[in-house]
Each structure stands twice: as structure tokens, then as C-alpha cells.
Structure 1
Amino acid sequence: MSTKIKDSWVKKIERLHPYQTLVYLGMLGSGLIFLFLSVAFLSSFYDSSPLEVYKLPKPFWLSTLVLVVSSFITHKLIKFYKQDHPKQLERLLWLIFFLGMTFTSLQLWGWEKLQEQGIEFSGIPSGSYLYVLTGIHAFHLMGLLIFALYLLWEVHQTVLDPIKDLVFTTNPYAKMKFRLFIIYWHYVDLIWLSLFLIFTLAF
């Protein structure tokens, strides 16, 4: 029985497109990194002053709201793709890109507020982990924004050329790219919500 289960999993993995394999492996690897760093962040309180004496900057609260809103909007991408609305798809991708840039800007503002409170990168260990965790998350989001620009370029080509539009909407690989984008965006959103919960408990 166990052998059949293993064989079925192996077959499923073999059927995955290389893009899917890369994204899923990336999610697994980055998830382990965030897990280890989060544990290190929490364990650092035993060796240094706790963060309860500080306040979690408001930009982090605002950025959380922005990312949650963007996650709901991102979920609609596949709907417009299936309905063959390239112009609406393009507008939605621009909106998602704008929200992603807004989130990144709020994170940078949050770093400034942390420094105003005296929490420096080279200061207490818990403060250092705070910068590292938010920085790595921002790095993941920037990668997604580059992916969004790539999708925007593809969609814009279909807007200009009806023939490309026909090929685009019937191309299973194009649909797969949008699904992977949505999955990874939700994943990055989930990671941030988990980090934000840890931060709120720490402050």
C-alpha cells in the first residue's frame, strides 16, 4: 500500500512542469528559512532585552492591510483570464503591482520608525532578526513584482494583437503562469501574516 502511495507521488512530481517544480521548491526552501529565522527571533529574547518596551511601527500595520487587499485582488486574475478580458487583466496586474510597491514602501518606512525608536540592525539580536525577516520577505515580494511585470508584458502584447490574444487564452502554459503567480502571492501573503502575528506578540 505504501509503495503505491509513493509511486503515485513520484508520478505526480514527474508530471509537473519545470516552472511548477521551481516554484514549489522555492516555497519549501523559503518556508524553512522563515521558520528557522522565526525560531531564532523568538529565542533571542532569552539573551537580550525584550521588545515590549518598544512599539510596533504603524507602517507595518498599514502594510499588512495593503497585502491582504492585494491578495483578494490577485485571486481574481484567473477569472479575467478565463473570461478572455486582457484589458481588465492588464489593469488588475497594474493595480497588484502598485499595491506591491506600496507594501514595500511601507516596509521601508517601518524600518525608519524602528530606527527612531533605537532599534538598529546591529543592536539587540531580536532587532537584528526583525530586520532580516522583513528584508527577506520584501526580497520575495520584489521577485513577484518582477514576475508581475513579465505577465504585464505578455498581456499587453495580446491587447495589441487579437491573434496573440486567441493563442494566449488557449495556451495552458500561460494559464499555468497565472496560477503560479497567484499561488506564490498568497504564499508570500501568508508568510507575512505569520511574521506579523509573531511581531505583535513580541512587542
Structure 2
Amino acid sequence: MQKEDKAHWFQKIENMHPYRTILYLGMFSSGLLFFFLTTAFVLSQPGAGVYEQFTIPKSFILSTLVILVSTYTSGKIIPGFLSEQPEQAKKYLFYTLLLGLFFSISQFLGWTELSDIGIDFRGIPSGSFLYLLSGIHLFHLGGALIYALVLLIQIGKTEKDPVKSLILLTNPYEKMKLELFSVYWKFMDAVWLILFVLFLWMF
């Protein structure tokens, strides 16, 4: 029975679309990167509350609220697509993109707040990890924002053409592209929430 289960899983992996495989491998490698960096960050500190004389940047708190809302909007993209309403999928995709931009801006503001309170690359040595971790996360998120913009343009081109709209809704490849975006976005949301909890523990 176990051999059959293993064969079944191997077959599912072999039949997986290359794009899906690439995304999952990318998420796995990114997860390892964040794991090693957060481990190095924690080990560089004597314990929790090392920044207790400082206050966690308010912009990081705001960005966390924004990313939580984006988790909801990204989760509504596929249901909108499956209900054969591309305008609904486009609407929630646009909301997710907009929230992602707000998140990015708040990250830059958060770095400014860190610098203003004396945490920078020249200050507390381990403070550079705060910039590094949030910066790498923002870099990964930037790729998702560009992809979201491309998807928005593609959907927008089909809205006024019934034939193109029908092809869009019946094409499994188009559905897969939206699914991959939604999965990756939720992954980046989860990464930031873990980082935010870590930052709260250190401040």
C-alpha cells in the first residue's frame, strides 16, 4: 500500500505542469533562504527584547494589516474566475495589486523609522538583519506585483471581446496562472507574518 501511495505521488509530480513545478521549487528555496537568515538573526541576539529600548516601526504594523487584507482579496480571485465572471477575478486581482503597493510603501517607511531610532547598518550590528529580511521579502513580493500587472492587462484585453472572454474562461492554462499567483501571494503573506512575529519577539 505504501509503495502504491509513493508511486501515486511520483506520478502526480511527473504530471505537474513545468510552471507549477518551478513555482513550488522556488517557494521551497525561498523558504530555506528565509529559514537560514532568520536562524542567523536569532542566534546573533542574546535573547528576546534586545531592542526593548526601541519601539517596533508603526509602518511594519500597518503593512501587516495590509498584507492580511490582501490574503483575503487574493483568495477571491479564483472563485471569481470559476464563477465565469472575469471582471470579478480582475477586481480582486487589482485590489491585491493595490494592497501590495501599499505594503511596499509601508516597508520603505518602516526602514525610515528604523533609521530614525538608530537601527541601521552602522548601528547595532544585528540591526542589518531587519533590513535584509524585510528587503528580501519585498524583492520577492515585487516579482508577484509585476506578474499581477501582467495578468490584469491580459484579462483587460479580453473583457470587451466575448470570444476572447470565453476562451479565457475555458482555458485551463489561464486558470493555472491565476492559481499560481494566488498560491505564491499567500506564501509571501505567510513569510511576512512569520517575520513580523519574530520582530515583535525581538522588540
Deviation at 1:170, TM superposition (A): 0.5
Task: Give, in whole Å, the separation in 2 of the partners of 1:158 and 1:80.
Answer: 15
1:76-91 to 2 correspondence within 5 Å?
Answer: 76-91=76-91
What amino acid is the match of 1:132? L
Aligned to 1:173: 173
Q: Distance in 1 between matches of 2:92 and 2:54?
A: 38
Letter in 2 for 1:54: F
Match of 1:46, SS state, is coil
Q: What is residue 14 of structure 1 aligned with on the other side?
A: 14
The residue type paired with residue 50 of structure 2 is P
In 2, the alpha carbon distance for the partners of 1:175 and 1:90 equals 13
Name the SS for the 1:174 alignment partner.
helix
Matched, 1:186 2:168: no
In structure 1, distance between residues paired with 2:129 and 2:189 = 19
- What's the TM-score, normalizing by structure 1? 0.94
Gaps of 5+ in 2: none
Q: How does 1:83-122 map to 2 (within 5 A)?
A: 83-122=83-122
8 Å contact from structure 2 (residues 58, 110) kept in 1: yes
| Aligned mates of 2:134, 2:176 — CA distance in 1 | 29
Aligned to 2:160: 160
Match of 1:151 in 2: 151
Percent identity of paired positions between Structure 1 and Structure 2: 47
8 Å contact from structure 2 (residues 86, 169) kept in 1: no
Match of 1:32 in 2: 32
Letter in 2 for 1:150: V
Give TM-score, length-normalised by structure 2.
0.94
**Partner AA of 2:168 in structure 1:** F
Contact 2:73 2:93 in 1 (8 A): no
Rounded to whole Å, the distance in 1 between the matches of 2:160 and 2:125 is: 53
Query: What residue number does 1:199 align with?
Result: 199
Give the deviation of 1:46 after TM superposition: 3.5
Say which structure is richer in helix.
1
Q: CA offset at residue 153 of structure 1?
A: 1.4
* Residue correspondences, number: 202
- Runs (4 or more) in structure 1 with deviation over 4 Å come to none
TM-superposed CA distance for 1:2, in Å, is: 4.7
TM-aligned CA deviation for residue 92 of structure 1? 2.0
Stretch deviating more after TM superposition (2-11 or 120-129) = 2-11
Deviation at 1:157, TM superposition (A): 1.4
* Cα deviation 1:70-101 (Å, max 9, x = unaligned): 11011011111011222232222221111000
The CA distance in 1 between the partners of 2:68 and 2:106, in whole Å, is 14
Write the distance in 1 (CA, Å) between the matches of 2:20 and 2:110.
33
* Residues 2 and 85 (structure 1), Cα distance of their counterparts in 2 relative to 1, 3 Å cut: closer
1:42 and 1:126 in contact (8 A); partners too: no
Question: For the aligned residues, what is the CA RMSD?
Answer: 1.6
Q: Which amino acid aligns with 1:139?
A: F
Contact 2:81 2:88 in 1 (8 A): no
